Amino acid sequence: MDGSDDIGGNWYHGVYETAHIISSRTITQFTHFPMPDDYPDFPSAEHIRDYLNRFADHFQLREPIELNRTVEYVRPIENNLWEVTFANGEQRIYKGVLLCNGHHWCKRFPKFEGQFHGEIIHSKDYKTPDQLRSKRVLVIGGGNSACDIAAEAARVSLKSVLSMRESVWFIPKTFAGVPTADLVRWWMPEWLQRLAMYGIIRLTFGNHQDYGLSKPNHRIFEKHPTLNNEVPYYIKHGRILAKPGVRRLQGKKVEFVDGSEQEFDLIVCATGYHVAYPFLPEELQRVEGSVVKCYGSSFIEDYKGLYYIGWGQARGGVGSLIAAYGPYFTRCLQLQDEINVPLGLVFKEMGQELPTTHLSDPQQIFRQLKQAHFFFNWIAKKADQVDAKYPNFENRPLPAKQ
């Protein structure tokens, strides 16, 4: 089910027209369906839309996909089944529901003292450079979207200012002619990845202080990295001014925490998103901050048949991760079909801990998936033991939405 009128998700309806992937083609593509050879190292939004359409056609996925179908409510009912209510009032009953609604749609806005008399938008609402043209633009945020938009503003606006509460690690998109993300291999421990990135950053950009930026107060990969060459370039050319966080708004004037003030016509809040499942009852809201508290990244311990998919934020491209996780998740669904208790309860009884961050290291995930496949027969035996321990398990039905 998809609420949009075509496939592609954010790449169809949610990105600006000049967007390109920040991970490379090699690690973004599905391993069993490579992108065309004539795609560049960093394909555009148009390329990605074309690729996803090719994928759907190749694997004959269009027929089972129902478009323009907005889900209003999902609840457990008797006999371990799930009732799904659609926006048009239709209801259907399913054995299981996979929640794949993504995490780049529920906009997060910062709260500031005072009022701004210009225009304020979220980066989600930025589509073309014409929105920035001939304006004094303030971009709030330090992530990839913030830096892309600040660089766009540097080209077409009267003024481009990038405000960051905390400095970020700027990682170059390429190093020695190779996409930087391609230099990391699955067998590399995180300390080696971090050491390599430190060296690449130092050789490419030097020190943050050389650009009027404070040194990041976290290690590389402890927060989502920013892959961008243009912001340091435009700072050096005087087209982007880096400022600290915003203290207050007054008319068209913005005061920063360093006491300086500037006037703007447009503020773009590239301040991220909430992870949200508005169609679930309160009892199934397992989100804490940006983390969904589920085992094995998808399974909860007290309900079977409900699966939280794709809420995490992996470094680099996700295509190879999806291709690797798909077969494992399929085996998990087959195992869930053979036992009565939720698979999340099995993982809990095995001693697995709930996640504490939404960020993930793809190389670590690849290693874990290899281990999980190797030991899956053992996991199945443990599942039988847990199943025998709770012979009378049933999902607790929840009332319809009022």
In single-letter form, the type of residue at position 178 comes to: V
* CA 258 – CA 255 distance, rounded (Å): 8
Pairing of the two strands 97-99 and 306-308 = parallel
Matching residue, tokens 């008797």: 78
The pLDDT of 112-129, averaged and rounded, is: 97
Listed in sequence order, the DSSP H helices in 101-179 are: 144-156
Structural domains of the chain, ranges and CATH numbers in brackets: 10-105+274-389 (3.50.50.60), 109-271 (3.50.50.60)
Strand partners, 250: 115, 253
Q: What token pair was written down for 186?
A: 């699955």
Q: What token pair was written down for 199?
A: 């060296």
* CA 226 – CA 146 distance, rounded (Å): 9
3-class DSSP state of 189: coil
Mean of all residue pLDDT scores within the chain: 95
The pLDDT of 107-111, averaged and rounded, is: 96
Cβ neighbours for 39, distance < 8 A, ≥ 6 positions apart = 25, 47, 51
Q: Tell me if 308 sits within 8 A of 346, measured CB to CB.
A: no
Which stretch of 187-201, 300-314, 376-390 has the lowest confidence by average pLDDT? 187-201
- Residues 295-335 have pLDDT tens digits of 999 999 999 999 999 998 887 778 888 888 999 999 999 99
* CA 184 – CA 109 distance, rounded (Å): 34
Q: What token pair was written down for 260?
A: 């300086």
* Percentage of the chain exceeding pLDDT 70: 100
- Residues 231-272 have pLDDT tens digits of 999 999 999 999 999 999 999 999 999 999 999 999 999 999
The pLDDT of 336-348, averaged and rounded, is: 98
Q: Give pLDDT, residue 18.
A: 94
Strand partners, 85: 73, 91
Q: How confident is the model at residue 117 (pLDDT cuts 50, 70, 90)?
A: very high
The pLDDT of 134-146, averaged and rounded, is: 98
Pairing of the two strands 246-251 and 113-116 = parallel
Q: How confident is the model at residue 5 (pLDDT cuts 50, 70, 90)?
A: very high
Q: Rounded to 5 degrees, what angle do the CA atoms 361, 363, 366 make? A: 110
What separation, in Å, do the N-terminal and C-terminal C-alpha atoms of the chain show?
A: 23
Q: Give pLDDT, residue 110.
A: 95
- Residues 77-93 have pLDDT tens digits of 999 999 999 999 999 99
Radius of gyration of the chain (CA): 23
pLDDT surpasses 80 at 185: no
Which stretch of 323-337, 343-357, 359-373, 387-401 has the lowest confidence by average pLDDT? 359-373
Which stretch of 72-76, 218-222, 274-278, 363-367 has the lowest confidence by average pLDDT? 363-367
pLDDT surpasses 80 at 186: no
Strand partners, 212: none
Of residues 43 and 360, more confidence is placed in 43
Listed in sequence order, the DSSP H helices in 166-262 are: 190-204, 230-236
Q: Rounded to 5 degrees, what angle do the CA atoms 13, 171, 315 make? A: 55
DSSP string, 110-160: ---EEEESSEEEEGGG---GGGTTTSEEEEE--SHHHHHHHHHHHHHSSEE
* CA 206 – CA 202 distance, rounded (Å): 4
- b/e per residue 209-240 (b: at least 16 CB within 10 A): eebebeebeeebbebbbbbbbbbbebbeeebb
- Residues 14-71 have pLDDT tens digits of 899 999 999 899 989 999 999 999 999 999 999 999 999 999 999 999 999 999 999 9
